[in-house]
Structure 1
Amino acid sequence: MSADFWAGYLSGAAGILIGNPLDLVKTRLQAGSSPSPTLDSATSPLQQSFKGHFDRAGTLVRGATAPILGYGALNAILFVSYNRTLSLLGDSPSAPSNLWRVWLAGSAGGLATFVVSAPTELIKCRAQVWKGNASSWSIARDTWKYEGIRGLYYGGGITSVRDAVGYGFYFWSYEWSKQTFSSPEDTDRQTALKVLLCGGFAGIVTWASIFPLDVVKTRVQTQLSHLPYSLRSEQRGLLHPELEGIPTPQKKRLSTLHVARQAYQSDGAGVFFRGLGICSIRAFVVNAVQWAVYEWMMRLLQQP
């Protein structure tokens, strides 16, 4: 395997480990999940929010299994595809000179991740909004059993559009900021600090550019998260507690446009930016770490 494959894999896994708790909050806000724990009146709103989303220690890593396994591979595919595409476009991955080519190569890399991104996102989002004790493995198993490969790629269309646009801006903003703020006179410490800052900036720009798409994607992939498998497989543990014992008929899945229209009609335009604040914080931290790990691993693996 090439150096950029392993550097991408390890940086992706590191980012998920750091960012999963904040990603869980972001996903629940996007999906419209409203935890309702029993709290006394003396508890502050901040504590209520925290306790509502992190009701026990295991919640901190809920839905992390699929991303750690999947996002490492996704990041590896992303960086390999980006580097190869940029080379085919006649530019150097280590020091690109044309930012438009960087955007195109990033977009191509984003599209290439579809095979991993779509099922990983679906399993992660459903695990994060589930009200029972369902694991990533049980959700993946039941999805495969009752819906086949097609079920794992539900919402794949909007996921691929999100990834193509988002990763185009991801690499573009990173290279733009690095070229703008870096200097040949920088010390190793200054270079490392600027990599962190540029990586964090790239994460914020990326999510700001695609957040409405991500909100719709999350709602598309989680629209049946309170119903499906227990009603079809008698695995009552996966059912939303409020629906236990109630013979609810299977809901019809809505299209991406229908989901977006329904979200706008019920909550207004603001719904497409719900969770952007927490997502921006997560994006800065996660992508600062990811780029630092990637750059460090590339230097380490390319040493003679």
Structure 2
Amino acid sequence: MTSDFWAGYLSGALGIIIGNPLDVIKVRLQAGDVHAAASPTHLTRLEKATSLVRGAAAPILGYGALNAILFVAYNRSLTALDNSITDPTSPVGVSPYKIWLAGAAGGLASWTISSPTEFIKCRAQLDPRAEVSSWAVAKDIIRTRGWSGLYFGGGITSARDAIGYGFYFWSYELCKRFINSDDDGAYQSAMNILLCGGVAGVVTWGSVFPLDMIKTRLQAQTIGDHGHLTETQALLGRRTLSSFQIAKETYRAEGVKAFYRGLGVCSVRAFIVNAVQWAAYEWFMKSFNQLGTQVKLQPGI
């Protein structure tokens, strides 16, 4: 495996561990569970460790692999788009639109993992059963919908990933170019990476949040099999609607604000998670590359 694969995997898993508590709140707000998300009972439940990590098992394993594929696909796509690049992790002088296209290609490549991972996570976080695990949710989906059921909502997930990751890499690189200078010390460089990573996370979610809300409500429809009716399902009358139908019905009933419900929580989470994730990725890449250089310099290798 290449350095960017393992750097992406480890940084992705770390990001999920840090960000899952706020992601639980974000998903419940998107699903339309406004009163539950704001009630003291709900907050007390969220304070428990078991609730804070709810639905985290699938993303920790899945998002690590997703992030690995994302960074590998992005680096390879960027190199293919611009033959002059010698180091895709530092694309100095590369056109921003090429960075966006490479990021979108990386998002599409990671979709094979992000789609089932997102569905399982969403179901686990919204399921009314208190102690439901990611594994139980995955088995339930396969039992009721078959293996292909893991990709329920895959179309809108792929659109979200392509657009979002395009802006993810685009905003990170532009931010680095804007604030970096030749005389930055190690501490300042680390602070720059944290800042640019956080900015990239906020920009990314701001660009695709309505799509993510629709995806959440689309997938939340499948929870009704257990006899629990979410606000989303009450609004839609238990019918399984398409992404377009959900968008239309949501706008008619709740207005534009519904498409951005939970964006504040998501932005806080996005800044923290992606600041740490980018810093970890850059550090792992530097460490792996240094290790590889040392190995090559050893006699007989």
TM-score clears 0.5: yes
- Residue identity opposite 1:2 in structure 2: T
Distance in 2 between the 1:209 and 1:93 partners?
Answer: 24
User: Which of 124, 129, 133 does residue 121 from structure 2 map onto?
Assistant: 124
In the TM superposition, what is the alpha-carbon distance from 1:192 to its structure 2 partner? 0.4
User: Residue 86 of structure 1 contacts residue 105 of structure 1 at CA under 8 Å; is this kept in 2?
Assistant: yes
- 1:99-156 C-alpha deviation (Å, 9 max, x unpaired): 1110000000000011001000000011001111321111100111221122100000
Cα deviation, residue 34, structure 1: 4.3
Q: Quick one: which of 265, 280, 287 aligns to 2:274?
A: 287
Aligned residue number for residue 60 of structure 1: 52
Is this contact kept in 2: 1:107–1:164, CA < 8 A?
yes
**TM-score normalised per structure 2:** 0.88
The Cα of 1:240 is off from its aligned counterpart by 3.1
Match of 2:234 in 1: none
What does residue range 170-249 of structure 1 map to in structure 2 within 5 Å?
170-225=168-223, 227-228=224-225, 230=226, 239-240=227-228
Displacement of 1:50: 2.6
State how far apart, in whole Å, the 2-side matches of 1:110 and 1:36 are: 32
Q: 1:95 aligns with which of 68, 90, 97?
A: 90
Could you tell me which residue of structure 2 aligns to residue 233 of structure 1? none
Tell me: CA distance 1:209–1:262, structure 2 relative to 1, closer, same or farther (3 Å): same
Q: Counterparts of 2:194 and 2:258 in 1: how far apart (Å)?
A: 31
Number of aligned pairs? 279
Q: TM-score, normalised by structure 1?
A: 0.88
Question: 1:277: which partner in 2?
Answer: 264
How many percent identity over aligned positions? 55
Q: Indicate conservation of the 8 Å contact 2:221/2:238, yes or no.
A: no
The residue that corresponds to 1:169 in the other structure is: 167
Q: Distance in 1 between matches of 2:175 and 2:47?
A: 39
Give the aligned residue type for 1:72. G
User: 2: CA distance between counterparts of 1:65 and 1:104?
Assistant: 31
Question: In structure 2, what is the Cα distance between the partners aligned to 1:35 and 1:64?
Answer: 23
- What does residue 8 of structure 2 align with? 8
* Partners of 1:224 and 1:251 within 8 A in 2: no
How far did 1:224 drift? 2.2
Q: CA deviation at 1:95?
A: 2.4
Match for residue 108 of structure 2? 111
Unaligned runs of 5+ in 1: 38-44, 231-238, 243-249
TM-fit CA distance, 1:207: 0.4
Distance apart, 1:251 and its partner CA? 4.3
In the alignment, structure 1 residue 75 sits paired with structure 2 residue 67: yes
Q: Cα deviations across residues 202-257 of structure 1 (Å, max 9, x unaligned)? A: 000000000001000110111121x22x4xxxxxxxx5399xxxxxxx94421111
Contact 2:36 / 2:42 at 8 angstroms: preserved in 1?
no
Aligned to 1:240, the other structure's residue is in SS state coil
Give 3-state SS (helix, strand or coil) of 2:146's partner. helix
- TM-superposed deviation, 1:47: 5.1
Cα-Cα RMSD = 1.9
1:36 is displaced (CA, Å) by 4.5
